Structure 1
Amino acid sequence: MSRLYHNESGRVIPSLCEELTRFRRVRVILNLPATGSDAILYLLVRPHRVGDNPLHWSVNGICQEAIEAGEDLHYRWYERTVKPGHLRDGNNTVELWTDDAAMTGWSLALEAGGATSNCSLTDDGGESWRSHRMGYLNAVEGNYCVRIRLEEGRDDPPPDMAWESAGHPRAQTMRDRIPRGIVNGSDRLTRVRALSAWIAASWEHSGSRRGTAYAPWDAETILAWGVSRHGHSGESSITMCVHYAVAFVSACQALGIPARCSALMGTPNSYEGHFVAEVWFDDYRKWVMVDPNIDAILFHGGKPLSIPEIQGLNGGLAPYVEWGSGTRFQRTFSHMRDFIRNSLLRGVCFRHRSIWPRTDFFSHPELTPPGHGSVSYCETDLVWSEPDREAGFGMFRYFAPDAYFAAPPDGAANA
């Protein structure tokens, strides 16, 4: 077993992160137990350019081998080994910097908004340090995304699911927004398929390369921003796969249908991700995968499939997909046609799965991530399958057995 040590939860807003230079350096202090084994350091960073642009780092004052910039200029996790002799029982300091004098070297992810915990910043090469006015604009407080996994210790068990109350006043306004024909539908599968079609046909998928204002996990705001394509401060909105799933899950719960969000991933630490929903069906005693972005459910033998059942097909999913009417709208966009052809139908995005263990987006918006999907997956609240810990997902803290994912929705509204 092993345990992840960290000061933040991965709620990253890319536009509020840190820049590293020769003079502008950061320190992160992690309290660790004594260890006799190699540790794994995880850094969520991005280089500005490829080439002569190393990222320097040290542990407890001991310089480590610099990290060279790869071809990927997006935020992603860089994983490095730390020798046990470089660590100590108690506080351990990781320091990061680059060679550039200007902010043209590397960016470091920052979770803004929380109280700073054992992180500091210098602008003069280390003469003085501060733990406030952080981020490249010197305007926020927070914690840098630097994590360490040790063999000593054991990750905490994943949390129980937190469900939204169907009696929440926002659930009522959401019900009022759903077309009457769906609200008054007959069986659950019919209503679920109608909800998926409605959500998928409501707006064009717009990711972080097509917009600038990330929509919060608020279903009615998502629908409004998606349709208008304008969000906070009038900027172009980011309303992508995660937002279709969140809006769909909130709509399901408003109708008393248990549903939850699932984050999918192809290659670990890549941009082969996707975000879908799962709906509980008493008739089948399982969670059924619903993709409300492209309006698709997979069937085999006349029965809808769960994510583990889809994973068991090992790709080649075209014969099992039943498209809804919302698919026609999404297929009018070339980037969605590319995704369907290159990722979904090949089963790439289904290789690894996790769930977001909360659906109370109306009751607790402060607990939703502010930028999921804009950078490589980083939220520590995600719950992954147990084998994923050793399969490239060691930067997360929650892993669960199959029974956790298959458990019925105790405590959820179930009309």
Structure 2
Amino acid sequence: MTLLALGINHRTATVEVREQVAFTPAQLESALTELRGLPEVREAALLSTCNRTELYCVTDTAGEREILDWLGRFHGLAIEDLTRCAYHYLENDAARHLMRVAVGLDSMVLGEPQILGQLKEAYQSARRAHGLGGELECLFQHTFAVAKQVRTRTGIGRNPVSVAYAAVSLASRIFDDFSRSRALLIGAGETIELVARHLHEAGVRQLTVANRTRERAEQLAGTLGGAAITLDEIPEALVRADIVISSTAAPLPLLGKGMVERALRQRRHRPVFMVDIAVPRDIEPEVGELGDVFLYTVDDLEAVIEENRRHRQVAADQAESLIEHGVGGWQHERRLRSGGALIREVRARGEALRDLSRDQALARLARGEDPEEVVRRLAHQLTNRLLHRPTVALRDAASDEQHELLDAAAALLLDEPSDPSP
């Protein structure tokens, strides 16, 4: 049996190719059934995200070409196009790759945590489709344990490495309790949507989204229980806002020094945290001169992000070490499972030969044969049956000068020699 990991990801394939190779949730069950049905595949799991599609299989032989052919057929893609961007790993390298994926070391954003949840969903889908046997079941369980250890013992997921997360992280340095903070988000694009979700996860419940069109603001605010306003209503909203984060495509600043000064007077100079992610800027630089405003720009966030990337790289090095230890642990468990299966087979064969000899002896006794002769014959037959195969194998090994096999047989089959007399 061979463990195989095969796939494409953001490093090897363009987004156009990744889109074509991705599996929708509706396709997963049928895809796993087809994959599991290939003659050489014994177990199978399938991971499909926006950045990667990977197949984890236990095969009779390596079989990467056959599985790649199947992937191309399933999606109607030329095998040559897939071959140019596909990679595969075998055995220990496959286990190592899965563990690196699980902890975010192979992700576009180093250490991102979402991939572990996606991998757990892939594992559950494979279980439901009866794609998992002993090998992949144990590998996934061991991988999840390693991922937990990496998250617990390193800081790989602790420091933000996105603009949206960094903005929220900076806000947390100003406000101890987000649950009492009011946030005003200006814009409704992807970055503001991420900021909104991070703020909501951090505990902010009073959230207002301002946008040029109220409809788009309502779409975003509604998913998080917030309020929607137009850009014209920003001056009134500023009075209530403790956190202001802006990211629009406006050609000129939306928040000037005078507007913010008026809002501060009505707030009785309670501090305001502001982040201007837009380029060109949405907030006049002079706003940062006001005493009760903490204003950060996208450049400030990039500095935070770069510092956090360095912290994550240190953590990534620690994670690599833990993964190597995890691969070693998986290898050990695999050897134990392999030895256990062999032991069960050997015992089953011995018990079958025992039962055969016993039944024959009982039949002779039932026919009235001499009990003493029956016992002698039983012992003779059982010994011959148990030792026949090992004897033939030892003769062949001796003839072929397979000394390692002979030494192993001696260690397994012979009693330890007693210590020589002094």
TM-score range, shorter chain: under 0.3
Normalising by structure 1, report the TM-score. Answer: 0.25
Q: Which has the higher contact order (CA 8 A, sep 6+)?
A: 1
Q: Greater strand share, 1 or 2?
A: 1
Bigger Cα Rg? 2
